[in-house]
Amino acid sequence: MIGIFDSGIGGLTTVKAITDRLPHADILYFGDTARTPYGSKSADTIRSYSVENGDFLIKKGAKIIIIACNTASSAATDLLRQRYDIPVFEVITPAVELAVKTTLNKKIGIIGTRATISSGIYEKNINFLDPEIKVLSNASPLLVPLIEEGFLDTPETKRILKKYLIPLKTRQIDTLILGCTHYPILKDLIAAKAGKRVKIIDSSTAIAQSVVNFIGSHENGDILTGTSGRRDFYVSDITPQFGNLAKNILKSTVNLTHREL
């Protein structure tokens, strides 16, 4: 069984990308809706929430963990890898590798939560692969609450998005990493505002592909993923918005179970 967690709804973009590619895998999802957003919290708090989430998934039988949250990936990957003896995937590396392969003018833009951007992890990992690449990042803290509230195609969201993208566009990025798993929900809008010349890198599809590659090359791939196509969704707070957005992302109705914190 693949255990996946996020601070809320965003990790469902990763669930969709994984289940499109591995339909028979068993999926256990946890969205920490009671404590979202993580992006404005301190690294210590994000780490302690991530440990609770990882422990929960493992207790329920996960054999692989995906940290489907850039914020938690930037703060807690090392800690979770030390703590568990099962594979732990994070969403940053696959997006970085794809962006480095994609850029032609060596100018990559990143939008993400405050915690992700201020961790500097994208710059560090991109420049480790190619020190000549210029990395331009902009924290976009209002996008997660707008998405969680279902403000997906409203004038307010468009205006805010434009404001976040202008500094990156004026510095002529040709590649933009959506450094938050919530943002693929606004992918069409972001692509339209970023302009035709900018290639969008979606961290949820990038991680899905790297998990598929890992499973394909692992002799016990089916044992790790399970094969019954079971889906279990847990949240720390059940809200009608979550149910509606989840249906929108996964294209099917989702039964939510409350996890007491």
The window from 33-41, 152-160, 226-234, 243-251 that contacts ligand DGL (CB under 6 A) reads 33-41
Contacts to ligand DGL from residues 208-247, by CB under 6 A: none
User: CB-wise, 19 or 36, nearer to ligand DGL?
Assistant: 36
**Residue 69 a catalytic site member:** yes
- Of 66 and 136, the one with the shorter C-beta distance to ligand DGL is 66
96 closest CA partner among 179, 28, 181, 2 = 179
Residues 132-161 that bind ligand DGL (CB under 6 A): 144
Of the listed 12, 65, 180, 212, which one is catalytic? 180
Residues in the chain: 261
Q: Which uninterrupted H or E stretch holds 201?
A: strand 199-202
Bridge partner residues of 2 (DSSP): 27, 64
Q: Could you confirm whether 125 is annotated as catalytic?
A: no
| Residue 37: both structure tokens together | 């957003």
Q: Residues 162-201 vs ligand DGL: string with x where CB under 6 A?
A: ------------------xxx-------------------
- Cα dihedral value 92, 245, 254, 48, nearest 10: 40
In DSSP terms, which residues pair with 30 in a beta bridge?
A: 5, 234
# residues contacting ligand DGL (CB under 6 A): 17
Q: What x-and-dash track marks residues 48-77 binding ligand DGL by CB under 6 A?
A: ---------------------xxx------
Tokens of 106: 């060596």
Q: Which of 57, 68, 69, 76 is catalytic?
A: 69
Where is 14: in which H helix or E strand? helix 12-21
CA distance 186 to 165: 13
**Catalytically active residues, by annotation:** 69, 180
